[in-house]
Chain A
């Protein structure tokens, strides 16, 4: 890389890619070519920078200038101004939402300040399609160290000592999992990487695979050496075409460089990796279901024990870890368990990647030390709530998690604290909700997802969740009673206790946590027949304020069902019996005379 004096890093993550970041790369190259600068300035398409809110991102190195919302036609300005004249293009710099000041160095942005990047260490720095860049940043050094200097037992001891817990959701000790897989003797064993990120609103794994695929391959080989497996399988969603493409390239490059395949580093250790595709089933994130899916079957979970460590893929001992879990392993090996264990809280070590989305200013991918509070994540990194609205809640752990309210804002985030607060870490999705979100509708939304995704094998999940969804629907329509609230709670507890797998056991979490934290809102729906957030259509009533109405008839003309009556220049009236609550009148009214009761 030394022959270049400047690098232009363009984000090639799914979000920025969708906003034509590949056209930016082309235009930048064309401009440089035209100016004869191709030999001194290099354009690299990297993985996700994390700051998806303001994508596409272009970062100029070495001065760390961070350009946001770049359009393909901005390429000329960047080259002429920044590259040639050394002047920063102010209009493309990030502006602090509070001070309105332009910030050129990403290190000074609130979004990046509190982050600590271990898993995402290479995302946004290297070209994921070039193995040399990964190697230049100590890539495959950990694998070399493990194969030449450590016994499998020592590797497992190190991983155990790091205190790392599985990032897929359950939080089981990674080292212990490896140890169990090692203990089971067999002629064949498997290392499986769970990249079936089916949790809506989660894009951590995708970003790692798109931005730094080799870190996962390297870790899988390390795991293979530790547990005595020669075969690796990555189970990846078919919905992630870009990640699949980059993985394929990475696997081929690793093979060409002798880092996968037979006799790696001449140590006699052989390990290879194949891809297996998911086909859109949330339950396949559960490890037994995932294994069945890899065997070409319906992805239905089975009772544990036997655990995959005893009998997994093809009945052989199998170790399943999540993408993020694997991606941290090379760093743990190189920097040592002690270093990793020094980060985080007492029982949750290291960092965690979160996908921050919803009603928040800075949507994106973040990595913070365990123990960071929700307040820091939402208001410092996330930049607060969009459009100046009020914070209402944050759903962590996806549809299997819970919704935490204002009172939890100062809770340090770790596995155990989130469970104690009634939610879960899950894979790391965080969806922020504001005052306009109705907590009954939200619970119904999550249950709709669970009902759709339930594999149907066990009755509590198949039937119970369906009933929960129906009850929530009735409440949203104003047909619920107080007794229904008890019913919701009791049924949720039964499902939690009796469902077969992790999906079923956690599916009532949104209902339980939302009823816990927003009980008044549920009561308002059933006793007052009102939706305080104004989201439940059936409970809304559009009313005309006689003080503001001038009788312009605009509302009556736009009403599709003729529910509005009134003479010209006289106060109009909406008939609630006819009104279908489409809101067209409110949009049309120029005098703010129509409001929702």
Chain B
């Protein structure tokens, strides 16, 4: 599993147990439970999955199977400002790859990695449905449309 070992505080454990309880500790609600946990912790480390396993009374292996199956769930923490570049078809044909290259160059990280100061992380996603604005970049909740490689520096500046 994840190489990152974390120690959950008691309130964290209580939070996870609470989430499971709001979903009636029903294993069928696993995906909803994981959504709530990821929203809270930012990612789903093995330790969180273990508590969920306890709460929903199901094997942790099953939970790991689900977490790794869906691209929305991640076991590595994201940066303070997660950057996602849309690589859906519409963005791809309008040059999203060059924008991604520029971000990699500027930040010095690859897709799936975070900067050393944990300020930015880089990921790619498939279509946010704002194809009219292609190519699209998301930083946190903010959407940037019609992004050209030259805009990358200015976008990053906003978060300094």
Chain A positions within 8 Å of B, measured between CB atoms, are 14-15, 17-19, 52-53, 55, 197-203, 206-207, 238-240, 276-282, 293-299, 355, 357-359, 363-364, 395, 398-399, 429, 431, 433, 437, 442, 445-446, 449, 452, 455
Contacts and interface: CB of A to CB of B under 8 A. Distances in A.
Contact of B70 (A281, A395, A445): A281
A357 B71 contact: no
B92 A296 contact: no
B90 A239 contact: no
Contact of A280 (B28, B65, B71, B93): B71
A431 B93 contact: yes
B93 A293 contact: no
Interface string B92-134: 1110000000000000000000000000000001111111111
A395 B143 CA distance: 26
B128 A431 contact: no
A491 B27 CA distance: 40
A295 B89 CA distance: 30
A358 B27 contact: no
For the complex of A and B, the 3 pairs showing the least CB-CB separation, nearest first, are A52-B132, A200-B88, A279-B70
B159 interface: no
A289 to B, nearest CB: 10
B145 A358 contact: no
A239 B28 CA distance: 21
B131 to A, nearest CB: 4
B54 interface: no
A433 B93 CA distance: 7
Interface residues of B, number: 37
Given A296-B29, A299-B70, A431 B89 contact: yes
Contacts of A199: 127
Nearest to B67: A279
B32 interface: yes
Contact of B132 (A55, A202, A449): A55
Interface string B5-39: 00000000000000000000011111110110000
A458 to B, nearest CB: 15
A296 B27 contact: yes
A18 B94 CA distance: 18
B73 A52 contact: no
A442 B93 CA distance: 9
B131 A238 contact: no
A52 B133 contact: yes
Nearest to A395: B89
Given A200-B126, A296-B28, 12 more contacts: A15-B131, A18-B145, A200-B127, A203-B131, A238-B35, A277-B35, A279-B71, A279-B73, A296-B29, A358-B93, A364-B132, A455-B69
A206 B72 contact: no
B155 interface: no
Given A18-B133, A200-B88, A276-B32, A298 B65 contact: yes
Contacts of B136: 18
A535 B126 CA distance: 21
B126 A19 contact: no
A201 B73 CA distance: 22
Contact of A357 (B34, B65, B90, B126): B90
A61 to B, nearest CB: 23
Contacts of B131: 15, 52, 201, 203, 355, 357, 363
B90 A298 contact: no
Contacts of B128: 14, 239
A1 B48 CA distance: 51
Contact of B126 (A198, A238, A293): A198
Contacts of B26: 296
A408 to B, nearest CB: 18
B57 to A, nearest CB: 12
Given A296-B27, A296-B30, A206 B129 contact: yes
Given A238-B35, A277-B35, A449-B126, A429 B73 contact: no
B66 A296 contact: yes
Contact of A201 (B28, B70, B72, B127): B127
Given A357-B131, A455-B69, A279 B35 contact: yes
Nearest to B90: A357
Contacts of B62: 297
Contacts of B31: 276-279, 293, 296
B94 A359 contact: yes
Contacts of B88: 200-201
Interface in B37-72: 62, 65-66, 69-72
A544 to B, nearest CB: 23
B52 to A, nearest CB: 11
Contacts of A364: 132
Contacts of A355: 131
A200 B89 contact: yes
| Residue among B26, B31, B66 with max Cβ neighbours from chain A (10 Å) | B31
Contact of A431 (B34, B66, B71, B90): B90
Contacts of B145: 15, 18-19
| Residue among A15, A198, A452 with max Cβ neighbours from chain B (10 Å) | A15
A379 B125 CA distance: 30
A583 to B, nearest CB: 10
28 contacts: A15-B131, A18-B130, A18-B145, A19-B145, A52-B130, A197-B129, A200-B90, A200-B92, A201-B89, A239-B129, A276-B31, A277-B31, A277-B35, A278-B31, A279-B73, A280-B72, A280-B73, A281-B71, A296-B27, A298-B66, A358-B90, A358-B94, A363-B131, A363-B132, A398-B89, A399-B89, A429-B89, A431-B90
Contacts of A240: 129
Contacts of B27: 296
A294 B66 CA distance: 12
Contact of B90 (A201, A277, A295): A201
| Residue among B32, B69, B89, B126 with max Cβ neighbours from chain A (10 Å) | B89
A277 B33 CA distance: 10
Contacts of A200: 87-90, 92, 126-127
A2 B142 CA distance: 37
Interface in B69-88: 69-73, 87-88
A18 B141 CA distance: 10
Contacts of A277: 31-32, 35
B30 to A, nearest CB: 4
Contacts of B73: 279-280
B93 A437 contact: yes
A355 B88 CA distance: 13
